Structure 1
Amino acid sequence: MSLLRQPILLLSRSAQVKRLVTTLPVTSGIVTGYVPGETSDTAVTASRALIDGGLDVTLDFLGEDTLDAQQAEATVAAYVEVLKALSVAGLTRHAEVSVKLSAIGQALPDHGHKIALENARTICRAARNAGTTVTLDMEDHTTTDSTLAVLRDLRKDFPETGAVLQAYLHRTEDDCRSLAYEGSRVRLCKGAYHEPESVAFQDKLDVDKSYVRCLKILLAGDGYPMVATHDPRMVEIASSLASRYGRAQQTYEFQMLYGIRPGEQRRLAASGEKVRVYVPYGGEWYGYLMRRLAERPQNLSFFAKSLISKS
């Protein structure tokens, strides 16, 4: 699978392949399997269905690496809109939003960090007014320090703001120690970016070991851990560690992506665990879809045959 992942990710940047994908009827089912739609209405509808099924959600308006200030502002407006819609629908008790700082200006020249911080403040304020919270997504390692700096500033006024840490980075155990304090919400994932050996573990086993070490720090700490994994073994280990450290159910949560292991999501929720589903939506779904395809080998041959027959 590692041999296929990089070519698929390269395809995600191909405008020609994107045109093929968006005109293939067969792909529509694949798209809606991972992304419920492009509008806030579709995001709220999907959220309601998941919440009615006993799950919580976090909504991500898709888009990243923007170098356009107007696009960043449009992304902020989209978050404000969906937060209002969630509030009107009475869903904010079980729904929050996840935000990539690169989508709201972090990479803009000269003042990107400041712009992203102010835009994040706007979203956090809208979330608080709606009765919910924001989690800052983590991106590639070059943005980690900036993202954590924004987090520190935001938490002065919005201490409920969530963080994300990626276990494949060498630094993450130390970051976990820094963030495992009372009131701190931390999502731990393995990491999804192609990182150099100098900053990240390359072997899957080493990443898994790091994930477990980080889990121990977070579950033994005073914060609120959010365990983001689809790995059955990691789910089992997290449950065992939670018991070891005297963690009651609902004092931590599991997180999984929309469309991935929905049966396991429901099973965990039925057992009393809090489970939050990461629900992406918006017009910039193509890159996200291709990353998910790169991770799901059972979809690759089906998808490739569709492209070949179309071309």
Structure 2
Amino acid sequence: MFSPAARRYVLASDRAGFFEQAVRLRSRGYRVSAEFVGPDQGATDALHAEHVVEEHLRLLDQEPAPDRIGVDVSRIGLAHSAQTALRNTGRLAAAAALRGSEVVLLMEGSEDIDTVLAVHDALVNRYDNVGITLQAHLHRTVDDAMAVAGPGRTVRLVMGSSAEPAGTALSRGPALEDRYLDLAELLVDRGVRLSLATPDAEVLAGAQERGLLERVQDIEMLYGVRPELLRRHRAAGRPCRIHAAYGMNWWLPLLRRLADNPPMVLNALADIGRDREPVAHQAY
């Protein structure tokens, strides 16, 4: 019933569809990151982890390979063991390096941060194509940012949308917006190749006032979220990236997009029961 709503935010149901749509988006001047979301987002066994790794390897074997893949470490072995997650992430980093692609570790919530950072730390000196996602709303992120920052390192900075206790994270509002911009400034000052991953127009305006938009690697938004805003930045000549999910397990990407931009709940509700494909892609 909800699949029409999900298709507003999921680029394609399979790899072939992803590449077809990604080529179209790249022809319009966008960079496109790939994230695989299927078949069973909640599975944690070793067999499922291997399936996800193999899908990423096939993705990287396509022509043209995506310039960046987003990897959820919890889905490639972390639930089995940290060593399995490290080994599988290393396999992807090595394969991506051969294609000139980046592997950026995704991050949601605070539960697995230390383990994901440990995987990043273990690989980043061996593979310069490994990056990390940081969540601005978490109080610990200032320290984490200083730990991972360095010339040429890749960081994807998000606001953070997971529900966290007040002692762990800031809620949405001016304090979080200021922290996001402060973190962005800290990271680029240290030579980081930074993706500003936010659909917040006011935050991006603040970044422009601070001169950050000329210093970051790109402005990134999730597929289907504020395409008209990203289009305006692209038209202004700024590098713009679309983080695009593909796969049959659409529920998590839908929730993530709605959490990232709550007003889009109305769009999702409007899509319920529709048979036609959403036209989000036309907005780019």
Q: Measure the CA separation in 2 of the matches of 1:222 and 1:237.
A: 20
- Figure out how many residues of one structure are paired with residues of the other and give that number: 269
**1:243-291, Cα deviation, whole Å (9 max, x unpaired):** 5xxx746x52110011122222222122221111000011211222133
Aligned to 1:206: 175
2:48 match? 71
SS in 2 for 1:59: strand
Tell me the secondary structure at the aligned position of residue 276 of structure 1: strand
Is residue 116 of structure 1 aligned with residue 85 of structure 2? yes
* Offset, 1:221: 2.0
Q: Tell me which residue corresponds to 1:106.
A: 78
Q: Structure 2: which 5+ residue stretches go unaligned?
A: 275-284
- C-alpha contact 1:66 1:102 (8 A) present in aligned 2: no
In structure 2, the residue matched to 1:38 is 13
More helix by share: 1
8 Å CA contact 1:38–1:281 kept in 2: the answer is yes
Q: TM-score, normalised by structure 1?
A: 0.80
Deviations 1:152-186 (A, max 9, x none): 11112112211110000001112122222101111
Is the 1:160–1:183 Cα contact (8 Å) retained in structure 2? Answer: no
Alignment of 1:41-56 (within 5 A): 41-56=16-31
2:254 maps to: 289
Larger radius of gyration: 1
Q: Percent identity between the aligned chains?
A: 29
C-alpha deviation, 1:96, in angstroms: 1.2
Structure ranking higher on relative contact order (CA contacts 8 Å, 6+ apart)? 2
Equivalent of residue 60 in structure 2, options 61, 65, 83: 83
Deviation at 1:39, TM superposition (A): 1.1
In structure 2, what residue type is equivalent to 1:125?
Answer: A
Aligned to 2:228: 263
What secondary structure does 2:163 align onto?
A: coil
Identify unmatched segments of 5+ residues in structure 1.
Answer: 1-19, 22-26
Code of the residue aligned with 1:302 in structure 2: it is A
| TM-score where L is the length of structure 2 | 0.88
Task: From 180, 205, 210, give the equivalent of 1:241.
Answer: 210
CA RMSD of aligned residues (A): 2.0
Deviations 1:204-254 (A, max 9, x none): 3332222122122113221111100100111112223235xxx746x5211
Corresponding residue of 2:267: 299
Give the residue type in structure 2 aligned to 1:32. Answer: R
Pairs within 5 Å for 1:124-273: 124-242=93-211, 248=214, 251-273=216-238
> CA 1:239 to 1:42, structure 2 compared with 1: closer, same or farther past 3 Å?
same
